[in-house]
Amino acid sequence: MYIRKRLGKYFVEIKRRGHKSIYKTFNQKSDAIKWGRSVELQLDQSRYRDTSNASKTTLLSVMERHLKERLRVVREPNKEQSRFNVIKKHDIVKRSLSSLSPQIFARYRDERIDDGLSNSTICRELSFMSIAIKKAIRFYNCWLPEHPIPNDIKPKENPPRNRRLEEGEFDKLMQHCKTKRNSYWCSMIEFAIETAMRLNEQLTLKWDQVDLKKMMITILAEHSKTGVERKIPLTPRAIEILNEIPRHIKGRVFPVSLNNFQRAWRSITRNAEIKNLHWHDLRREACSRLMERGLSISEVQMFTGHKTLSLMLQTYSSHNPSVVAKKLNSVQ
């Protein structure tokens, strides 16, 4: 081990036969000696692994590589891009992989909690970074002694939402939709409740996927979250909505951009004074209404496209107690 002072810092170099030179620079001599002895011990025990690539590689660079790969295969690339755009604003992405630690990511988690983010959102951000780091370790020769994001650092996921439309809220939504210039908002809301379609499925739906004679629509695999094509039966009201909608020249049933939709939805719910209602809650409303109409669980699964019944029941089924009470009292 050779240590020499250069420009106010301590340069450590370790040479061993059969290994390329290993070196690092420190501000304190004691840190230089400690690191040098640790490396020599690892070499003596044949445990040494080269971390030079990890020292030269930033978290941002591996995230960019991971994002590029993800955008080719995910069904909803906008979400992945948005998540990346949020994370890259944080100073943590400037760090090299070798400088990351569980303590650093614990601070990141706590800061995001203080920012008011939900546990689920924070978990998704940490998972995005974790997978990017795993790929760098496995495929790009960025060896680390331990993964800096252990599983127990992630906050507990939020319990599944059970929000449904309360009495009078549907009428409020319809009333305030009609004040908008775009005539599609009312149709989109009601169609979501009739079909249990996801937002992306609605925004990408084209008329050639609609078969009014067979009373069904086809969700293409490339627009489905599960990557599997499915057919959704149409209720009488869903058919009426489709007949009322003007045919757009581009062939889309709902010719609305995601950005315009998001702005309109925030405006509609705010003006209607409806709190804590997400668009995705309409999917739960749809599933619950279908079950309350008497459809079996497997029949409702045709609408949602879930691969397992348990996930659908846990996340999207929330029965209205008043409806259940009426059923009980109607039984003689």
Predicted pLDDT at 41: 84
DSSP state of 184: H
DSSP state letter for 157: P
Element (H, E) at 23: strand 22-26
Q: Which two tokens stand for residue 183?
A: 């005539």
Q: 59 is written with which tokens?
A: 């978290």
Query: pLDDT digits over 113-158, tens only?
Result: 988 888 989 999 999 999 999 999 989 888 887 899 998 899 987 7
Percent of the chain with pLDDT over 70: 92
Give me the pLDDT at residue 315, please. Answer: 58
Domain 56-153 CATH (choose: 1.20.1260, 2.60.120, 1.10.150, 3.10.28): 1.10.150
Residue 89's pLDDT is 94
Whether residue 187 contacts residue 254, with contact meaning beta carbons closer than 8 Å, is answered with yes
Domain covering 169-330 assigned CATH 1.10.3720.10 in the classification? no
User: How far does CA 163 lie from the centroid of its chain?
Assistant: 20
Confidence of residue 313 (pLDDT cuts 50, 70, 90): low
Mean predicted confidence (pLDDT) in 96-108: 93
Q: What percent of the chain has pLDDT over 90?
A: 44
Range(s) within the chain of domains with CATH label 1.10.443.10 = 169-330
Which has the higher per-residue pLDDT, 316 or 129? 129
pLDDT value of position 62: 96
What value does the mean pLDDT take over residues 55-81? 89
pLDDT at 252: 92
Contacts of 60 (CB under 8 A, 6+ apart): 88, 93, 94
Q: Is the pLDDT of residue 312 over 80?
A: no
